[in-house]
Every structure is written in C-alpha cells, then in structure tokens.
Amino acid sequence: MDNLHIEPTKSSPRVSFDCHRHVLEIVGESYPEDAHLFYRPVFDWLNDYLAQLGEETVQVKVDVSYFNSSCSKVFMDLFELLDDQVQNGKSIEVYWISHEENDMGIECGEEFKECVVALPIHITIRS
C-alpha cells in the first residue's frame, strides 16, 4: 500500500498518512469549498488501510489551527469511523493538537472526545 500525501493549500491542510510508520497527520487550516470532496480520498485511503491493518498501533495527529463547520462534521465522521475500528479490536490513538490561545480548538477537541465511546483522544496544548 502506498502512503497518502496531499500538499496544503491556503484553505486545506497537509495530509500525510504513512502506512509503514502507522502515523496519520492532518496539519494546517481546513476550510475547503467542499469539505466532503476534499476529504473523500482521505476516507477512501483510510478504509483500505484499516482493512489490512494488523495489530500495529496507529497514531492519528490532528493539528488544525482553524476549521469551518463542514470540516468539523468531517472530523466527527473520521472519529466515529476510528471509534468503530477500536471497538472492533484495532489499536488507534488520536492526538488533537491546539495552540494554548485557541480556545475554540481546545473546546472542539473536548467535544469530539465526549462523542466517542472507545477511541482515545488525547488533547495536546502547545504554546
């Protein structure tokens, strides 16, 4: 399986999914005109990756400094997908990273954390 890499733009984040290291990163700002269209290849890749995943532990790092409401829905869909996988025995941990001055980002991370059953979401606050 090939890694997934999407270069960032003014309105979309860098997506770097490394299937060999089992580290999936989404970094930057996320407010593309059509969030579902932008993230469709991300979900396609992720579904293929999770189908072949063995007992490895996956780290998902989400460091978005700004995102709009449609991306918030996409992130919730992402965490629900990962939560289902954890409930089915996969080892996945999410690191939601926000700047200490980004109260909205921290609050959203806490809300995502409350919405999942089994997926560990760690809130990391950086200065």
Retrieve residue 48's tokens.
Answer: 């293929």
As a whole-number percent, the residues of the chain with pLDDT over 70 amount to 100
CATH number at residue 95: 3.30.750
Structural domains of the chain, count = 1
Burial 43-65 (b: 16+ CB within 10 A, else e): eebbeebbeebeeeebbbbbbbe
Q: Which pLDDT band holds residue 33 (cuts at 50, 70, 90)?
A: very high
3-class secondary structure, 104 = helix
Residue type, 101: E
pLDDT by residue (tens digit) across 37-74? 999 999 999 999 999 999 999 999 999 999 999 999 99
Averaged pLDDT score across all residues of the chain: 97
Confidence of residue 92 (pLDDT cuts 50, 70, 90): very high
Q: What is the pTM of this model?
A: 0.95
DSSP of 62-81, one letter per residue? EEEEEE-HHHHHHHHHHHHH
Residues 44/86, Cβ–Cβ less than 8 Å = no
Residues spanned by the domain of 111? 4-126
